[in-house]
């Protein structure tokens, strides 16, 4: 007779399972005059886990300072950038923003892999091919780590190329605001593995930023860009 095994002798074996493959979801924000398309789950769960680990452990994230113009009295004020950052690029690329000159650090191989996959998505969205030569990288470790409303319109950036943003780790809101009407806002949730493109007149007509979060968890964001090559200069 086959009986029920004695519960004391049952040994459960945990079977290793492949991470799920989630379906890519394509959403066009249909911003007048701009290209703003989100691909959710563009990176697989396996890629998200692998890249999050590499990006949090193998990158020389920096606490840096920025200088901005005070909204109150128009004076220039220097303070801590409210997140950690790093700028990576091909040789001969510099990017000045918020009063700081950033000389591109050498590419980490994982960032180059991510860049290739980020470039491939442009064709999937029916957009022209672009080879990015730099990446502004942001690390948000706490809900208080933020990025103020801004436009990426510095002279170092090629205005005709889009900016592609990819995110790993914790989900954060990404807010877009019409420069001509501050009441016109869009909020996009940028989750683990998401890809987002900002093109057309996005930087001329809109501001964007990452406000204070509500949940703990580290988020890594890489924004791939095309900068105009130049030699380093004073900030
Ligand atoms: O973290 C983000 O999603 C936005 C990054 C960004 O806008 C920037 O680096 O200029
Ligand atoms: Fe930006």
d(CA 99, CA 10): 65
What is this structure's pTM? Answer: 0.91
Give the whole-angstrom CA distance, residue 87 versus residue 206. 23
Map residue 64 onto helix, strand or coil: coil
98 lines ligand 1 (CB under 6 A): no
Ligand nearest to the CA of 206: 2
Q: Residue whose CA is closest, atom 2 of ligand 1?
A: 221
How far, in Å, is the centroid of ligand 1 from the Cα of 202?
13
Q: What is the pLDDT of residue 120?
A: 98
pLDDT at 226: 98
The Cα–Cα gap between 163 and 118 comes to 10
Helix axes 45-57, 109-124, angle to 10 degrees: 140
The per-residue pLDDT string of the chain (235 residues; one tens digit each, 9 = 90 and over) reads: 455 555 567 888 888 888 888 999 999 999 999 999 999 999 999 999 999 999 999 999 999 999 988 888 999 999 999 999 999 999 999 999 999 999 999 999 999 999 999 999 999 999 999 999 999 999 999 999 999 999 999 999 999 999 999 999 999 999 999 999 999 999 999 999 999 999 999 999 999 999 999 999 999 999 999 999 999 986 5
Q: Which ligand ends up closest to the CA of 203? A: 2
CA of 223, closest atom in ligand 1 = 9
Q: How remote is the CA of residue 193 from the centroid of ligand 2, in Å?
A: 18
Whether 210 is in the pocket of ligand 1, judged by its Cβ within 6 Å, is yes
CA dist 73 to 70, 81, 201, Å?
A: 6, 20, 30
What is the structure's pLDDT at 4? 56
pLDDT of residue 232: 92
Q: How far is CA 44 from CA 8, 101, 214, in A?
A: 40, 35, 25
- Residue 68 near residue 99 (C-beta atoms within 8 A): yes
Structural domains of the chain in order of their starting residue, each with its CATH number: 36-59+84-225 (2.60.120.590)
Find out whether the beta carbon of 42 lies less than 6 Å from any atom of ligand 1: no
State whether the beta carbon of 194 lies less than 6 angstroms from ligand 1. no
- Determine the distance separating the centroid of ligand 1 and the alpha carbon of 126, expressed in angstroms: 23
Residue nearest to atom 10 of ligand 1 (CA): 152
* pLDDT on residue 8: 66
Q: CA 189, 126, 207: angle at the middle one, nearest 5? A: 40
Q: Which of 34, 177, 210 to mutate to test the pocket of ligand 1 (most atoms within 8 A of CB)?
A: 210
């Amino acid at each position: 007779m086959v009986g029920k095994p004695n519960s004391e002798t049952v040994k459960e074996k945990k079977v290793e399972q492949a991470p799920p493959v989630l379906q890519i979801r394509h959403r066009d924000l249909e911003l007048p005059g701009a290209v703003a398309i989100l691909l959710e789950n563009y990176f697989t769960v396996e890629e998200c886990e692998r890249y999050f680990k590499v990006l949090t452990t193998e990158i020389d994230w920096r606490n840096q300072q920025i200088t901005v113009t005070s909204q109150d009295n128009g004076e220039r004020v220097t303070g801590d950038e409210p997140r950690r950052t790093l700028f990576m690029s091909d040789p001969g690329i510099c990017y000045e923003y918020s009063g700081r000159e950033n000389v591109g650090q050498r590419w980490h191989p994982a960032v180059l892999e991510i860049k290739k996959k980020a470039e491939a998505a442009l064709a999937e969205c029916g957009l022209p091919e672009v080879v990015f030569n730099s990446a502004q990288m942001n690390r948000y470790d706490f809900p208080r780590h933020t990025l103020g409303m801004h436009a990426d319109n510095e002279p170092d950036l090629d205005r005709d190329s889009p900016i592609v943003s990819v995110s790993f780790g914790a989900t954060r809101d990404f807010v877009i605001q019409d420069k001509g009407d501050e009441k016109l806002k869009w909020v996009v949730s940028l989750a683990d593995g998401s890809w987002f493109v900002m093109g057309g007149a996005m930087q001329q007509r809109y501001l964007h930023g990452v406000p204070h979060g509500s949940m703990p968890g580290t988020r890594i964001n890489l924004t791939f860009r095309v900068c105009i090559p130049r030699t380093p200069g004073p900030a």
